[in-house]
């Protein structure tokens, strides 16, 4: 894997030996005056990626054309997870991190209007319009579905024990 070490990281790290930024440690360097080519130490500020993202992107309307370009840039073989899978341990951690009170829908319910919209959007795949209408899964697919359900149930059991 190629790791990029940007000039401003090297400058920061050479001046802040007690506060070194390492690859993927959750931090980045912000250019205070907004000029990414101005690498003077007084123009550099260490901050969390999340803070940096909020600083530059909160409240900004991104044009649809830009959204499409960004999406295409991270699609298929360009996606960081292309051809890879999360480990079971990682899946369990992600599941736990979004369960119970941490879930964005915890304690909330869909409004009647939202329920109606969801129902409307799914009407066209019922009955004869369903891609599986009149068809059966192959034995291989049935086994895969069964195994996936078993793994999901196991993750939920472990999650319940850890809460």
DSSP letters, the chain, are ------HHHHHHHHH-TTS---TTSSEEEEETTS-TT---GGGEEEEEHHHHHHHHHTTPPPPHHHHHHHHHHTSGGGSTTTT----HHHHHHHHHHTSGGGSTTTT----HHHHHHHHHHHGGGSGGGSTTTT----HHHHHHHHHHHHHHHHHHHHHHHH-
State yes or no: pLDDT of 14 exceeds 90. Answer: no
In sequence order, what are the beta bridge partners of 28? 47
Task: Work out the average pLDDT over 85-92.
Answer: 88
For the whole model, what pTM was predicted?
Answer: 0.39
Q: What angle do CA 73, 79, 83 make, to 5 degrees?
A: 150
Please tell me which residue, 159 or 19, carries the higher pLDDT value.
19
CB 43 within 8 A of CB 32: yes
Q: Which residue has the tokens 């009647």?
A: 112
What pLDDT, on the 0 to 100 scale, is given for residue 2?
Answer: 43
Task: Work out the average pLDDT over 17-44.
Answer: 82
Boundaries of every domain in the chain: 1-62, 87-96+143-163
Distance of CA 104 to the CA centre of its chain: 15
Task: Work out the average pLDDT over 1-23.
Answer: 72
State yes or no: pLDDT of 24 exceeds 70. Answer: no
What pLDDT, on the 0 to 100 scale, is given for residue 96?
Answer: 86
Task: Work out the average pLDDT over 60-67.
Answer: 83
Task: Work out the average pLDDT over 2-19.
Answer: 74
Task: Work out the average pLDDT over 128-157.
Answer: 88
Instruction: Provide the pLDDT confidence category of residue 1 given band limits of 50, 70 and 90.
Output: very low
CA distance 162 to 156: 10
What pLDDT, on the 0 to 100 scale, is given for residue 162?
Answer: 59
Mean pLDDT of the chain: 84
State yes or no: pLDDT of 44 exceeds 60. Answer: yes
Task: Work out the average pLDDT over 83-109.
Answer: 88
What pLDDT, on the 0 to 100 scale, is given for residue 23?
Answer: 59
């Amino acid at each position: 894997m190629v790791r990029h070490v940007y000039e401003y990281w090297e400058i920061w790290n050479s001046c802040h030996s007690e506060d070194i930024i390492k690859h993927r440690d959750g931090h980045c360097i912000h250019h205070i005056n907004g000029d990414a080519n101005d690498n003077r130490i007084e123009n550099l500020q260490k901050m969390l990626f999340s803070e940096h993202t909020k600083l530059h992107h909160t409240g900004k309307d991104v044009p649809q054309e830009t959204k499409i370009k960004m999406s295409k840039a991270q699609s298929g073989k360009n996606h960081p997870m292309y051809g890879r899978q999360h480990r079971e341990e990682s899946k369990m951690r992600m599941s736990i991190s979004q369960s119970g009170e941490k879930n964005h829908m915890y304690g909330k319910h869909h409004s009647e209007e939202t329920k109606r919209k969801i129902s409307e959007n799914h009407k066209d795949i019922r009955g004869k319009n369903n891609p599986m209408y009149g068809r059966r899964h192959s034995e291989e697919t049935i086994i895969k579905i069964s195994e996936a359900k078993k793994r999901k149930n196991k993750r939920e059991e472990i999650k319940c024990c850890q809460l």
